Amino acid sequence: ETLEIFSPLAHRMGLWQYKTELADLSFSYLFPNEFHALSATVTSRLLSYQNTLASAKAQLEGELQADEWLHGRMRSVQVTGRTKSVYSTWKKMQRLNCGIDGVNDLVALRVVLNPEEDERLSLMSTPLGTQQRDVEEKSLCYHVLGKVHGLYTPLPRTLKDYISSPK
């Protein structure tokens, strides 16, 4: 019940930490053997995952801070990292019918952009002003995505464009 109702409900409400905690706890009771085996594997690799995230985060932050085009366009850029939860990893392994080494997104970076407010566009409450602001915000996102791809080559057929088609 928790895995099928309350965890998805927490997800829909944006309570990501609770969603993950509920899913992992439910998983540990419903599939104890699978949970303990996968949890042990993830725990043994956790230091490596954390080092990878820290290195990638520092590299990306350095690249974005050195980008002259972003200066004056951004109030702030926040880069955070995460490791995939045990239940989410197991679910993906089941869906792909693979082992843990077949899951490509065990670690991930998230980039949150806070653009400078363009006073000309904020005064324009017309659909044209709103459309222009959306175009400028998307161009910032694609610019940063280009920087990410300059550092890390995406795997073929795995890129999902949530800029043009948000979740």
Query: Which residues are 83's β-sheet partners?
Result: 107
User: Which range has the worst mean pLDDT, 112-121, 124-133, 140-149?
Assistant: 124-133
Determine the average pLDDT of the residues in 5-10.
96
Closest listed residue to residue 57, CA positions, set 107, 23, 19: 107
CB atoms under 10 Å from CB of 138, counted, come to 12
For position 129, what pLDDT does the model report? 62
Is the pTM for the entire model greater than 0.85?
no
Mean pLDDT value across the chain: 90
